[in-house]
């Protein structure tokens, strides 16, 4: 079941104001988003909808390894879909535009043959404040993995992290490289010193890599 991908991404410095509908032209490139509802259900009391949304990205008509899944909850089905699309925009929208050449106000990091664009950090649950320093430390754990992608064809790549941090600091989760589950990425991320807060929390982040 298709859903319209509609993303109003805030671009602080650049010639493009926003992305509406499923297509946008950035310079000479046409970008198309294909959003599809993969799962939906009602809450036991029938008061809430839960939507699982997958968004594929095409550049110049070619599917890119930038697929990302998001979840939306709302009192009506349409509200849940809008929430899921907003979730996608928060994690992927800005950095996708940055990787495609739009100035978004944040400079990418250089790792091996790539420029790395880091999406907004999402943390749900009790946690200590996240910092730029922690962002850099986490990215460093993924250095070898990112450099290894230099042998893979294609200009664009992605790494997606969803980490569940338990009360005692132990972790489990799901990490994907180019949309494929990656035990190596999970192992690298688990070596990061996650903060123990006495309560569990969930950490999410999406990276877009563009070959220089």
- Alpha-carbon distance 75 to 81, whole Å? 11
Quick one: pLDDT at residue 66? 96
Among the listed residues 91, 90, 74, 60, the one whose alpha carbon sits nearest the alpha carbon of residue 155: 60
Within 10 angstroms of residue 135's Cβ, the number of other Cβ atoms is 14
Q: Where are the domains of the chain?
A: 2-99, 109-211
pLDDT score of 126? 67
- Give the predicted TM-score (pTM) of the model: 0.85
Predicted local confidence at residue 47, as pLDDT: 85
Q: What is the pLDDT of residue 127?
A: 62
* pLDDT for position 62: 94
Distance (Å, rounded) from C-alpha 89 to C-alpha 178? 18
Question: What's the rounded Cα separation, in Å, for the pair 95 and 210?
Answer: 11
Place of tokens 């991404």: 9
CA atoms within 13 A on the CB side of 106: 17
**Per-residue confidence in pLDDT tens, the chain, 212 aa:** 455 444 444 433 343 434 445 677 777 788 999 989 999 998 888 889 999 999 999 999 999 999 999 999 999 999 999 999 999 988 998 899 899 888 877 789 999 999 999 988 988 886 667 888 898 999 999 999 999 999 998 999 999 999 999 888 889 999 999 999 999 999 999 999 987 767 888 999 999 999 98
Whether residue 162 contacts residue 202, with contact meaning beta carbons closer than 8 Å, is answered with yes
- For position 8, what pLDDT does the model report? 44
* Helix, strand, coil share of the chain (percent; to 5): 25, 40, 35
Instruction: Give the residues across from 56 on adjacent strands.
Output: 34
What's 101's DSSP letter?
Answer: T
Rounded to an integer, what distance in angstroms lies between the CA atom of residue 127 and that of residue 188? 21
């Amino acid at each position: 079941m298709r859903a319209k991908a509609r993303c109003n991404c805030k671009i602080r410095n650049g010639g493009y104001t926003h992305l509406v509908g499923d297509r946008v032209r950035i310079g000479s490139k046409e970008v198309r988003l294909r959003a599809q509802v993969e799962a939906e259900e009602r809450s036991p009391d029938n008061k809430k909808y839960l939507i699982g949304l997958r968004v594929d990205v095409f550049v110049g008509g070619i599917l890119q390894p930038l697929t990302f899944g998001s979840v939306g909850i709302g009192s009506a089905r349409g509200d849940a879909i809008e929430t899921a699309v907003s979730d996608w925009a928060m994690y992927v929208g800005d950095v996708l535009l940055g990787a495609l050449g739009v100035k978004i106000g944040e400079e990418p990091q250089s790792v091996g043959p790539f420029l790395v664009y880091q999406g907004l950090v999402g943390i749900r649950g009790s946690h200590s404040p996240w910092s730029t320093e922690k962002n850099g430390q986490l990215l460093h754990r993924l250095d070898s993995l990112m450099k290894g992608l230099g042998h893979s064809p294609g200009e664009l790549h992605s790494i997606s992290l969803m980490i569940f941090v338990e009360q005692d600091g132990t972790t489990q989760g799901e990490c994907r490289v180019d949309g494929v589950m990656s035990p190596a990425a999970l192992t690298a991320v688990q070596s990061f010193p996650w903060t123990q807060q006495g309560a569990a929390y969930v950490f999410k982040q999406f990276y877009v890599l563009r070959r220089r």
